[in-house]
Structure 1
Amino acid sequence: MSPLITADALADLIAAGQPVRILDVRWRLDRPDGRAEYRAGHIPTAVYVDLDRELAGRGEPTDGRHPLPSIAELGEAARRWGIDDGDTVVVYDDLSSFAAARAWWLLTDAGIADVRILDGALSGWTAAGHPLEEGSVVPVPGTVTLRRGILPRLTMAAAAALPERGVLLDVRSEERYRGDSEPIDPRAGHIPGALNAPTGGNVDAEGRFLDPAALRERFAALGVTDGAPVGVYCGSGVTAAHTAFALTLAGYQPHLYPGSWSQWSNHPDRPVALGSQPGGRS
């Protein structure tokens, strides 16, 4: 079963009364709180999810800007969203699924068997002619039980070592990868040995994921193979989940580095590469 779902297929699930929980994960760096947009219009029955508070934990700068929440915190949030064991969970946002992918990764990693991303995000839903509803949805609390560790991940040390035996993808913009500028984190540049693969290359102009064959071609051109590990990181571990999802669609088993550049750059002992080449110049 594909971890993607079309707007029409989601509408059919809702109409059939299937046990589906829809999560609205609207978030972006310049406007992290998407509640106002959610209340103005969301997919019927969708519950708003606060990425900063519910899909991330709290920690020191050396842990990164969006450390993973504890499994207890995530479980409390999931039950607050109304999720029961056995539910299908559909996640979406209004930005090409960049934020929704964080929810997909966390919930899949926590053992929910059927988590899907709405292809085309919210605009895909409205473009298909489906309605929105206003206000807020407060569901009956769910009873789901979660566990951690289904999906592979990288520690900081493992991310440092990965280029020696596989491929490490930095999915930030080219400017941030090269170290031309760094508007958020303490140091500019990239992890030595990492290759640049900006997240936006996973989707088309309408924000829909490229088909698996096209994604596989994209990643193969970067040296990704079935026989070697592939890891992904971004600024704080959010959009890296988007490329982890794209790699999954393409048939790979990606390792996510949750701390990402925000963790790495807060450790002065970690080397930094600059420029357009993986090794760069320190």
Structure 2
Amino acid sequence: MNPIISAADLASESAGPRPPVLLDVRWQLGGPNLRPEYEAGHLPGAVFVDLDTELAAPPTPGGGRHPLPDPEVFGAVMRRAGVSLGSPVVVYDGGLGWAAARAWWLLRWTGHQDVRVLDGGLAAWQGELTTDVPTPAEGDFRPTPGGAGLLDADAAAALAHKGLLLDARAAERYRGDAEPIDRVGGHIPGALSAPTSENVAADGRFRPAAELTERFTALGAADAPAVGVYCGSGVSGAHQVLALELAGIPAALYAGSWSQWSSDESRPVATGPDPQ
């Protein structure tokens, strides 16, 4: 299944006999909860889901800034939003795509296969918005973790040398030139820099699959025995996993990412443009 959907196709499906469940996951890194923006206007039928409290567990000293949510808690959130195992789901955010990809990845990881991200997010939607907050019928989705690749810190470290580990953060954070959030700058030794921002065009939509395939092939992903991705806290990294899927390349996510790795002073840190 194509992991993304255009605004035009979403409008058509929403008017059809089997409309998808819509999740609004607008989110601002380091900013306030965006539910007020949702209440001011959202796609008809969409339910708001908060990334910081519903798509992540509370941060812990050794778990990173956005630990994976408890599957049962996540399942309850999805059922409240009307998600059932057999229902199609479309997720959107404000346009960056990171938060939507996080929800997409979590649903895939917990066993839901029919989930897509609105390409370009809310900015791409040409239809009407509503302020009506829906109360959907309770869904029946029960998470079964393991449906998508997941790495811990040790597995990510090993993959950086035995396969391909991509760092989805901005290049300056990879090099260690600047680190605005975490304890120290730099990267996991052996990881390659591959900023998530290069997966999309100026309008926020994903680049064509052929271009993404060319990009990741140049990084060695097509020939690697296995591919993994990390970012700052497991959000933009999910966007990279989605881009790799568009390119036809399966990849696992190190969900703890740099916020977890860098919190442990015993783990090595590489700096500069060289992977090692």
1:30 deviates by 3.6
Q: Which position in structure 1 is the counterpart of 2:133?
A: 136
Q: Which position in structure 2 is the counterpart of 1:28?
A: 28
**Contact in 2 for aligned 1:64/1:263 (Cα 8 Å):** yes
Task: Give, as a single letter, the amino acid of the residue that structure 2 aligns with 1:2.
Answer: N
Q: Which position in structure 2 is the counterpart of 1:190?
A: 187
Q: Distance in 1 between matches of 2:11 and 2:33?
A: 26
Matches within 5 A, 1:52-63: 52-63=52-63
Query: Secondary structure of 1:77's match?
Result: helix
**Contact in 2 for aligned 1:96/1:203 (Cα 8 Å):** no
Q: Which position in structure 2 is the counterpart of 1:83?
A: 83
Q: Distance in 2 between matches of 1:208 and 1:32?
A: 25
Query: Secondary structure of 2:151's match?
Result: coil
Gaps of 5+ in 1: none
Matches within 5 A, 1:84-99: 84-99=84-99
Q: Distance in 2 between matches of 1:121 and 1:226?
A: 32
Task: Give, as a single letter, the amino acid of the residue that structure 2 aligns with 1:24.
Answer: D
Match of 1:160 among 152, 157, 166: 157
**Contact in 1 for aligned 2:200/2:206 (Cα 8 Å):** yes
Q: Distance in 1 between matches of 2:138 and 2:149?
A: 29
Query: Secondary structure of 1:90's match?
Result: strand
Task: Give, as a single letter, the amino acid of the residue that structure 1 aligns with 2:53.
Answer: R
Task: Give, as a single letter, the amino acid of the residue that structure 2 aligns with 1:13.
Answer: E
1:138 deviates by 2.8
1:74 deviates by 0.9
Matches within 5 A, 1:218-257: 218-257=215-254
Q: Distance in 1 between matches of 2:138 and 2:240?
A: 31
1:59 deviates by 4.6
Query: Secondary structure of 2:178's match?
Result: coil
Gaps of 5+ in 2: none
**Count of aligned residue pairs for this structure pair:** 276
TM-score scaled by structure 1?
0.95
Residue by residue over 1:170-192, the C-alpha shift from the partner in whole angstroms, topping out at 9 and shown as x without a partner, is 11111111111211111111111
Residue by residue over 1:44-90, the C-alpha shift from the partner in whole angstroms, topping out at 9 and shown as x without a partner, is 10000100011001352211110111111111111111112210000
1:227 deviates by 4.5
Q: Distance in 2 between matches of 1:159 and 1:32?
A: 31
Task: Give, as a single letter, the amino acid of the residue that structure 1 aligns with 2:25.
Answer: V
1:41 deviates by 1.1
1:140 deviates by 2.4
**Identity, % of aligned pairs?**
53
> Where does structure 1 differ by over 3 angstroms across 4 or more consecutive aligned residues?
none
Query: Secondary structure of 2:62's match?
Result: helix
Calculate the aligned-residue CA RMSD, in Å.
1.2
